């Protein structure tokens, strides 16, 4: 807190200095008056909740509210100006240190999903898109689906939104809407600044004629730095999709460095993408093809600058309006600058004024390294350590009061729910409210329904006092209960595959087996080389290796069909529920016609779970069944 207060005092000093001694390039516009930083305490209060639109009402949203023109000044009816106004009206009457969220209310969402609205402040219709961007979006999209219209209206009101059940077929449509929304936000931001520049120029000219500086307007329309939008994606192929959509909706006549962008974010020349080749594509699941087709480099970052007629790619971050990056790429850049310029401590100041954040494909980032996401989140909307040529006379007061995080909109996208995602969502502090989708899994929709009938599946529950001790309790249940039982069986003692979701648990289990005598095992992890993978698969299939340890991330990245198992142990259920039937059914697959055909009854599946596995469990067995399995005292559940 002491460091934050010092930074705040330093900014007040910089503000007064900047106001008293404006830069030479500003003198031609206006000699600004000194500004005050308001820090008065406010009281928390419950504010009215939004009334969700019904399906019939949404059907009528054929023409969503859009700003009347690029010169539209009706700020009281514009969601952008209402949420990001200089006075910070959305923050008034709220103690941001003690936010009280209203009770969640269910609302109807597209695709048969429901959603929980946690809190929302607005109950009237607002203009949600800049006309120029909206028209470009319509012309490129053709007919706009109802789901897209609903989403435009929702995110256009600057409410935080988490789609926790994003389907493959909906992903590109979702990106198109969000690309339009983020570009619209940038266009409105730049429009407001340019209009105020003109107003200041006219006022300065009038002041020179009348020799009266008191008539100069005080206009607050900026943050500390220029970047306003940050989009996090896992791979270059996803970034390519986003930037191409920005190009489409920007309505710019020129795009600078487009050829360089296409070269660096596509596959290299002469490279073969098997996932796009019909001869090989059918060997992989659709979600794998969608995720890994194209350039899957995960270390990148790029700035994008919007001008009246040009979209400039590869702009310097402090000159950019939008930044798109992978969590890894951004973290490596920040840590490199921290190492090189440690005396400045300003390595991520360009993230200080982010107003729209999109985290796309969180499910993929979970398979990379979630710590990178948390690292980047901690860097956003912090008070900068350096001035960076900021015109403090035009910085909005709520930026100076360190309130930007309470107005920033965050949009999260994932194909499933997970504790890591919930933790991120619960930490969002946007006073406009937040909405997340929810889903109830019927028994026929659960992935267990895809397991070949006849396979014996046993779920064994172990007790765990708290989440902190969950890893130790799981290891104890595996080594003292499950494993000794399997070793007593002649069948289970060999041809056993153990699937381990966490790499840390994988290391722990491998270390355990390494210390045991007469244990013949092989391992497959995301770090295994092609040679190691081939040796492990062959050794396990032939029976030379009795056990095979496999991480979920290995299956995520490689998606191999692993054969030879008679017993499959899930040390924990995978986050990707479709991996459960894939790994089980692979044991019954046939590569050649003369191979022995196994009876499903010969395959045994053992699953360890506890009450903290509810989110994973409901995707596998169904919501109703999962709740029974975690609440009832019964320790063992069997299915065939």
- State the Cα torsion 77-81-84-89 to the nearest 10°: -50
What's the whole-number mean pLDDT along residues 179-208? 90
CA dihedral over 412, 416, 421, 425, signed as positive or negative: positive
Helix extents (H) in 293-418: 327-340, 362-368, 370-379, 397-400
**Is the pLDDT confidence value at 462 over 60?**
yes
pLDDT at residue number 127? 57
Q: What is the tens place of the pLDDT at every residue in 483-500?
A: 988 887 756 668 999 999
State the greatest distance between any 2 C-alpha atoms of the chain, in Å, as a whole number.
Answer: 100
Which residues make Cβ contacts (< 8 Å) with residue 84, sequence separation at least 6? 158, 189, 355, 396, 407
Q: What is the tens place of the pLDDT at every residue in 15-29?
A: 333 443 333 333 332
What's the whole-number mean pLDDT along residues 110-133? 54
- Residue 252, strand partner residues: none
pLDDT, mean over the chain: 82
Separation between Cα atoms, residue 601 and residue 640, nearest integer Å: 9
- pTM, two decimals, is 0.84
* Cβ neighbours of 336 (radius 10 Å): 11
**Is the pLDDT confidence value at 601 over 70?**
yes
Separation between Cα atoms, residue 422 and residue 164, nearest integer Å: 10
- Residue 118 pLDDT class (50, 70, 90 cuts): low
- Residue 325 pLDDT class (50, 70, 90 cuts): very high
* Cβ neighbours of 182 (radius 10 Å): 29
Q: Where in the chain is the domain with CATH 3.40.50.300?
A: 36-438, 447-639
DSSP structure class, residue 23: -
pLDDT at residue number 53? 34
In our burial notation (b when 16+ CB lie closer than 10 A, e otherwise), range 515-534 reads: eeeeeebbbbbbebeeeebe
3-state secondary structure string, 377-412?
HHHCCCCCCCCCCCCHHHECHHHHCCCHHHCCEEEE
Structure tokens at 219: 């206009």
Assess contact for 609 and 571: CB atoms under 8 A: no
pLDDT at residue number 590? 73
Instruction: Specify the range with the lowest mean pLDDT, choosing from 69-78, 569-578, 628-637.
Output: 69-78
pLDDT at residue number 263? 96
pLDDT at residue number 580? 98
pLDDT at residue number 6? 45
Q: What is the tens place of the pLDDT at every residue in 138-154?
A: 666 666 777 777 788 88
pLDDT at residue number 233? 99
What's the whole-number mean pLDDT along residues 457-485? 94
Domain 36-438 CATH class label: alpha beta
Separation between Cα atoms, residue 185 and residue 424, nearest integer Å: 23
In our burial notation (b when 16+ CB lie closer than 10 A, e otherwise), range 51-64 reads: ebbeeeebeebeeb
Separation between Cα atoms, residue 476 and residue 608, nearest integer Å: 11
Assess contact for 309 and 253: CB atoms under 8 A: yes
- Residue 51 pLDDT class (50, 70, 90 cuts): very low
Domain 447-639 CATH class label: alpha beta
Structure tokens at 117: 């609205």
Question: C-alpha angle 498/503/504, rounded to 5°?
Answer: 110
Structure tokens at 311: 């979209």
* CA 220 to chain CA mean position, Å: 31
pLDDT at residue number 593? 63
Assess contact for 460 and 606: CB atoms under 8 A: yes
**Is the pLDDT confidence value at 120 over 60?**
no
pLDDT at residue number 383? 92
pLDDT at residue number 337? 80
Q: Report in angstroms the alpha-carbon separations of 77 from 68, 80, 145, 152, 169.
A: 11, 9, 25, 16, 34
**Is the pLDDT confidence value at 524 over 50?**
yes
SS3 assignment, position 75:
helix
Question: C-alpha angle 347/352/354, rounded to 5°?
Answer: 125
Instruction: Specify the range with the lowest mean pLDDT, choosing from 94-98, 230-234, 312-316.
Output: 94-98
Instruction: Specify the range with the lowest mean pLDDT, choosing from 80-94, 164-178, 410-424.
Output: 80-94
**Is the pLDDT confidence value at 111 over 60?**
no
Which one has a higher pLDDT value, 533 or 19? 533
SS3 assignment, position 609:
strand
**Is the pLDDT confidence value at 12 over 80?**
no
211: region left, alpha or beta (phi > 0 left; psi from -120 to 50 alpha) = left
Assess contact for 251 and 222: CB atoms under 8 A: no
């Amino acid at each position: 807190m002491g460091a934050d207060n010092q930074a705040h005092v330093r900014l007040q000093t910089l503000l007064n200095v900047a106001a008293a001694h404006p830069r030479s390039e500003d003198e031609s516009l206006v000699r600004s008056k000194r500004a005050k930083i308001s820090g008065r305490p406010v009281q928390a209060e419950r504010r009215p909740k939004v009334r969700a639109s019904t399906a019939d009402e949404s059907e009528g949203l054929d023409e969503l509210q859009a700003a009347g023109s690029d010169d539209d000044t009706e700020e009281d009816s514009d969601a952008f100006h209402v949420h990001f106004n200089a006075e910070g009206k959305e923050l008034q009457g709220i103690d941001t240190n003690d936010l009280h969220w209203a009770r969640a209310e269910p609302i109807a969402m597209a695709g048969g999903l429901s959603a929980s609205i946690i809190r929302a402040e607005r109950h009237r219709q607002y203009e949600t898109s800049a006309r120029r961007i909206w028209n470009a979006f319509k012309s490129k999209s053709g007919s706009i689906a109802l789901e897209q219209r609903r989403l435009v209206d929702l995110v256009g009101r600057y409410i935080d939104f988490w789609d926790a059940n994003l389907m493959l077929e909906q992903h590109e449509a979702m990106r198109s809407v969000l690309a339009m929304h983020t570009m619209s936000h940038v266009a409105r931001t730049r429009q407001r600044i340019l209009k105020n520049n003109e107003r200041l120029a006219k006022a300065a000219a009038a002041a020179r004629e009348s020799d009266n500086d008191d008539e100069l307007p005080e206009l607050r329309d900026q943050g500390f730095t220029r970047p306003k939008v940050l989009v996090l994606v896992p791979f270059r192929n996803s970034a390519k999709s986003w930037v191409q959509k920005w190009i489409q909706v920007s309505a710019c006549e020129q795009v600078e460095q487009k050829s360089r962008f296409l070269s660096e974010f596509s596959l290299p020349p002469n490279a073969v993408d098997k996932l796009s080749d019909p001869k090989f594509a059918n060997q992989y699941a659709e979600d794998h093809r969608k995720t890994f087709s194209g350039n899957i480099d995960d270390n990148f970052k790029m700035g994008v600058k919007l001008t009246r007629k040009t979209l400039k790619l590869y702009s310097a971050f402090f000159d950019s309006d939008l930044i798109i990056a992978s969590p890894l790429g951004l973290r490596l850049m920040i840590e490199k600058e921290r190492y090189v310029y440690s005396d400045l401590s300003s390595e991520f100041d360009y993230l200080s004024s982010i107003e729209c954040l999109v985290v796309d494909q969180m499910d993929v980032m979970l398979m990379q390294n979630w710590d990178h996401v948390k690292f980047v989140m901690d860097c956003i909307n912090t008070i900068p350590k350096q001035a960076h040529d900021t015109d403090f006379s035009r910085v909005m007061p709520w930026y100076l009061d360190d309130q930007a995080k309470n107005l920033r909109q965050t949009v999260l996208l994932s194909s499933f729910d997970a504790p890591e995602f919930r933790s991120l969502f619960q930490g969002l502090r946007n006073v406009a409210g937040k909405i997340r989708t929810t889903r109830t899994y019927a028994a026929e929709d659960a992935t267990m329904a895809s397991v070949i009938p006849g396979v014996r599946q046993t779920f064994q529950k172990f007790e765990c006092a708290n989440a902190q001790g969950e890893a130790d309790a799981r290891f104890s249940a595996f080594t003292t209960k499950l494993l000794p039982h399997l070793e007593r069986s002649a069948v289970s003692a060999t041809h056993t595959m153990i699937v381990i979701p966490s790499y840390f648990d994988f290391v722990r289990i491998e270390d355990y087996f390494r210390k045991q005598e007469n244990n013949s095992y092989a391992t497959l992890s995301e770090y295994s080389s092609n040679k190691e993978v081939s040796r492990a698969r062959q050794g396990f299939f032939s029976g030379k290796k009795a056990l095979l340890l496999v991480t979920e991330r290995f299956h995520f990245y490689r998606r191999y069909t692993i054969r030879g198992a008679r017993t499959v142990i899930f040390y924990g259920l995978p986050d990707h529920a479709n991996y459960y039937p894939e790994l089980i059914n692979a044991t019954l697959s046939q590569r050649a016609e003369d191979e022995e055909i196994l009876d499903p009854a010969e395959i045994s599946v053992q699953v360890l779970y506890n009450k903290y596995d509810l989110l994973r469990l409901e995707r596998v067995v169904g919501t109703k069944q999962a709740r029974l399995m975690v609440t009832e005292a019964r320790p063992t559940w069997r299915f065939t």
